[in-house]
Amino acid sequence: MTPLTIPPLDVTAAAQRLGANIRLARARRRLSQEELAQACGITRKTLYALEKGAPGATIATTFTVLWKLGLLNTAVALADPDGDEHGKILEAARRPQRIRHAVDRDNDF
C-alpha cells in the first residue's frame, strides 16, 4: 500500500472493532465462517478479512453480513443526521438571525 491508501489509525481501529463485533455475533449464533459466508454469497476468506477489520471489505459485503446476522438496523443508524450534533451547530450558525415574511404584492398596476 502506498501512504495515500493507508487509512487513518482511527478508521483502522473502527474497522477492527466492527470486525470483532461481527465475529462475536456470528459465534453467538453458533455459525461457522463457512456457513455464514455461504449464506451471504461470499467466500470464507472475505468473511475472515471482514472479521479482522481489513480495509478492503466493501460496504455491501459488510451490510449483507449484518443483514444475515439480523443486525442491519444497527448499521442504518450510522451517520444519522439527528445524531450529528456538530452538523446541527454548523447549520444553526448559518441560519439567518431574523426571518423576513413574504409580502403579498398586488399585481394590479
Cα–Cα distance for residue pair 15/19, rounded to 1 Å: 6
Residue-level pLDDT at 4: 61
Residue-level pLDDT at 77: 85
Tens-level pLDDT at each residue, the chain (109 residues): 455 678 899 999 999 999 999 999 999 999 999 999 999 999 999 999 999 999 889 999 999 999 999 999 999 888 888 888 999 899 888 887 777 777 777 776 6
55 phi, psi to nearest 5 deg: -70, -10
SS3 98: coil
| CA angle in degrees (0–180, nearest 5) for 54-55-56 | 95
Residue-level pLDDT at 3: 55
The b-or-e profile of 56-73 (16+ CB within 10 A means b, else e) is ebeeebbbbbbebbeeee
Cα–Cα distance for residue pair 62/50, rounded to 1 Å: 7
Cα–Cα distance for residue pair 21/53, rounded to 1 Å: 10
| Fold (topology level) of 9-94 | 434 Repressor (Amino-terminal Domain) (1.10.260)
Helix axes 44-52 and 33-40, enclosed angle (nearest 10): 110
Residue-level pLDDT at 59: 94
Is 0.85 topped by the overall pTM?
Answer: no
